[in-house]
C-alpha cells in the first residue's frame, strides 16, 4: 500500500527532511506551510510532493488544506504535526501576552485543529499513524522560553490522549523530541551568542554540547528516518511513546 502522508510546516527544515524521506520510501506526500514561495519551489522540484499554503491556526485555511488533501491523496494514512513557532526569549515575569497567545495558538491549538480534522481520514486508513513534533524542551524546563516549553510539554499529553482514544481504531500516536538540529540556523544562534559573550563560536558550540553524552548536533535525516519507521509496518504496536533524539541531553538550553 502506498502511504498517504500530510506534513505541516513541510516546506523546510525538519518537515522537508521528513517529506523527502517518506517519498523515498514510496509514499505520496502533501505538505502545508505558510511560506508560499517555498511550497511552490518544493512541489515543483519534487514530483511526489503536493502542497497547500496556509496557517494551521485558521479554520478557513484548514478547509482549503483538507480539500486539497482529499483531492491530491484521496485519503490519509499518516499525519505529521510538525508546525510550531518558538516565540520570545524573555523571563516569565516579562513574557509578552500576545506572544504567549501566538505560540499556544500554533503549537497547541493549531495542532489540535489539524488532528481533529485528520482523524476521520485516519480511521478509514486501517493503519493510521500520528506523529507529533515535540522537543527537548518538552522534556525539560527551558529558562526564558516559557511558551515554547509549555506547549511542547502539552503536546506530550495530547499525544498520550490520542493514543488512548485511537489505539482501539488501529491508529498509533507518538511524539518525537529533537535536540539542537545541525544546520545554518543553529550556527547563527552560536554566532549571536558569541557576539554577546565575547567567546568564540567554537566555545559557544562546546558549551551547547556540554549537556549531551553524544557530542554532535542532530541530523534532520535521522529525525526523518525515525518518523518513517514509527509510521511503518514494524511500529504498529508502538504508541503513546516519547522518542528523544538529542544526543542524550540532560537539559534544554
Domain with residue 236: its CATH number is 3.40.50.720
Question: Does a structural domain hold residue 252?
Answer: no
pLDDT confidence bin for 253, thresholds 50/70/90: confident
Does residue 111 form part of some domain? yes
- 124 and 158 belong to one structural domain: yes
199 and 151 co-located in one domain: no
126: left (phi over 0), alpha (psi -120 to 50) or beta: left
**Mean predicted lDDT score pLDDT of the chain:** 95
Looking at the structure, tell me whether residues 154 and 37 fall in a common domain. yes
Question: 209: buried, middle or exposed (CB in 10 Å: 19+, 13-18, 0-12)?
Answer: middle
| 125/203 same-domain check | no
Q: Are residues 22 and 95 in the same domain?
A: yes
**10 Å Cβ neighbour count for 34?**
18
**Structural domain includes residue 250:** no
For position 85, what pLDDT does the model report? Answer: 96
Distance CA 219, CA 187 (A): 14
Do 168 and 201 belong to one domain? no
**Do 115 and 194 belong together in one domain?**
no
To the nearest 10 degrees (0 to 180), the angle between helices 59-73 and 111-125 is 30
Give the pLDDT of residue 40: 98
Note whether 92 and 186 are same-domain residues. no
Domain range for 213 is: 182-217
Give the model's confidence band at 204: pLDDT under 50 very low, under 70 low, under 90 confident, else very high.
confident
Q: Are 237 and 212 found together in one domain?
A: no
Cα(127)–Cα(124) distance, rounded to whole angstroms?
8
Tell me: the pLDDT tens digits for 156-184?
999 999 999 999 999 999 999 999 898 88
Whether 191 and 82 share a structural domain? no
Other Cβ atoms closer than 10 A to 125 = 18
pLDDT at residue 91, as a whole number: 93
Active site amino acids: 148
pLDDT tens for residues 142-157? 999 999 999 999 999 9
Please give the pLDDT value at position 229: 98
pTM score, two decimals? Answer: 0.95
Residue 148 shares a structural domain with residue 52 = yes
Residue 194 and residue 155 share a domain: no
In the predicted model, what is the mean pLDDT of residues 34-42?
98
Per-residue model confidence (pLDDT) at position 42: 98
Please give the Cα distance from 20 to 151 (Å, whole number): 27
Domains held by the chain: number:
2
Q: Residue 82, class by beta-carbon neighbours within 10 Å (0-12 exposed, 13-18 middle, 19+ buried)?
A: buried
Amino acid at each position: 500500500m502506498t502511504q498517504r502522508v500530510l506534513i505541516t510546516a513541510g516546506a523546510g527544515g525538519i518537515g522537508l527532511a521528513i517529506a523527502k524521506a517518506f517519498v523515498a520510501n514510496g509514499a505520496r506526500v502533501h505538505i502545508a506551510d505558510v511560506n508560499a514561495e517555498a511550497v511552490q519551489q518544493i512541489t515543483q522540484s519534487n514530483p511526489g510532493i503536493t502542497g497547500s499554503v496556509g496557517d494551521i491556526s485558521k479554520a478557513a485555511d484548514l478547509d482549503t488544506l483538507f480539500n486539497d488533501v482529499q483531492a491530491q491523496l484521496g485519503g490519509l494514512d499518516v499525519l505529521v504535526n510538525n508546525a510550531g513557532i518558538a516565540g520570545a526569549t524573555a523571563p516569565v515575569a516579562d513574557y509578552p501576552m500576545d506572544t504567549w497567545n501566538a505560540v499556544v495558538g500554533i503549537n497547541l491549538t493549531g495542532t489540535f485543529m489539524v488532528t481533529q480534522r485528520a482523524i476521520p481520514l485516519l480511521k478509514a486508513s486501517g493503519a493510521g499513524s500520528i506523529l507529533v513534533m515535540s522537543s527537548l524542551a518538552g522534556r525539560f524546563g527551558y529558562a526564558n522560553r516559557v511558551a515554547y516549553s509549555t506547549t511542547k510539554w502539552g503536546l506530550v499529553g495530547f499525544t498520550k490522549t490520542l493514543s488512548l482514544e485511537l489505539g482501539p481504531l488501529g491508529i498509533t500516536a507518538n511524539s518525537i523530541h529533537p535536540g539542537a538540529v545541525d544546520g545554518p540556523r543553529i550556527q547563527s544562534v552560536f554566532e549571536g551568542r558569541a557576539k554577546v559573550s565575547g567567546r568564540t563560536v567554537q566555545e559557544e558550540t562546546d558549551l551547547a554540547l556540554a549537556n549531551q553524552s553524544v557530542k554532535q548536533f542532530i541530523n534532520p535525516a535521522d529525525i526523518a528516518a525515525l518518523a518513517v519507521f514509527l509510521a511503518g509496518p514494524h511500529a504498529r504496536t508502538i504508541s503513546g511513546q516519547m522518542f528523544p533524539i538529542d544526543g542524550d541531553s540532560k537539559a534544554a538550553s
